[in-house]
Amino acid sequence: MKCYKLQFLLLLFTYSFYVIASDGKVFPEGNPLIENGELYDVRIESELSDKDLESYRNKKINPVMYVMEVVKNSDGRHFKVFIMDPPKQNKPGEKKEDEPILFEPVGFDYKPVKKQVGAEYFSIDIPFEIKSESRFAKFMVLGLLVLMLLIPIVFFGNKKYRQKMKSVKRKRKLKGRAQELIELAKPAKNRRDHEKIYILKKEFKKLIDLDQTNFESYLSDINLVQYKQHWSDADLAGINSKFETLGELRVRRGI
């Protein structure tokens, strides 16, 4: 492939890149021939301080050179640069922002070959890694915020659910007990049956829907004879009569 002077290449793309060589120049260190996809040492000619030159590490200093390292030794100051693909020409009617040349390349023979070594394929490009980490950090923060919002919702929602289930279980248990009391009272015809109801009177009042006045009268009659050794037929008939005034026993509403 025919070699081209880098200056000629830059002139070829002057409509895409606006040359501003304000920070210095770079010169070949030995052989002036350079290829895209390779690393080279280039000599720096600039009035910038060593500290200022360090700021160009991991930066693009012209359309084809990307600084990997800044080297200072007895031979002077150098950049170790990665040579990138030649700039793409603009499509007809397409406009791009001018890309300044921070360090003007002087005396190079640029030999572009068919490689994909642009920034998008350059895996050790630190600014791109930092951008990726920053994006990851944003997702992490967003995830933590969502988690912080979900925790109280789940906690209080679960707490309310547990309370509701506890209430349901309690009502179910009380309703079951009320049914047991109704079944117990259905055959009440003798002293033993009536005395059981008397013993469980608090539960009957709480769980069974009945006329409280009639129920109290029924309990009072039982209380009058419950300490007798034997109930007479009249005693049992009177209590049975009072029990019948209670009517049909049903589970209290709300249980």
DSSP assignment of 131-148, as one string? Answer: HHHHHHHHHHHHHHHHHH
Residue 227 DSSP symbol = T
> Mind listing the pLDDT tens digit for each residue in 70-116?
999 888 999 999 998 887 776 666 666 667 789 999 999 988 887 65
Q: Side-chain half-sphere of 69: how many Cα atoms within 13 Å?
A: 8
| Res 202: pLDDT | 92
Question: Which residues have CB under 8 Å from 61's CB, separation 6+?
Answer: 23, 26, 67, 79, 81, 101, 102, 103
Cβ–Cβ < 8 Å for 221, 248:
no
Give tens-digit pLDDT for 169-226. Answer: 888 888 889 888 888 888 788 898 888 999 998 998 899 888 889 999 989 998 998 8
Q: Output the DSSP codes for 3-60.
A: -EEHHHHHHHTTTT------SEEEEESS--EEETT-EEEEEEE-SS-HHHHHTTTTSE
Range with the poorest average pLDDT among 51-55, 64-68, 144-148, 224-228? 144-148
Distance CA 194, CA 236 (A): 9
Chain mean pLDDT for the chain: 79
Distance CA 199, CA 180 (A): 15
Query: Of the ranges 34-38, 60-64, 166-170, which one carries the lowest mean pLDDT score?
Result: 166-170
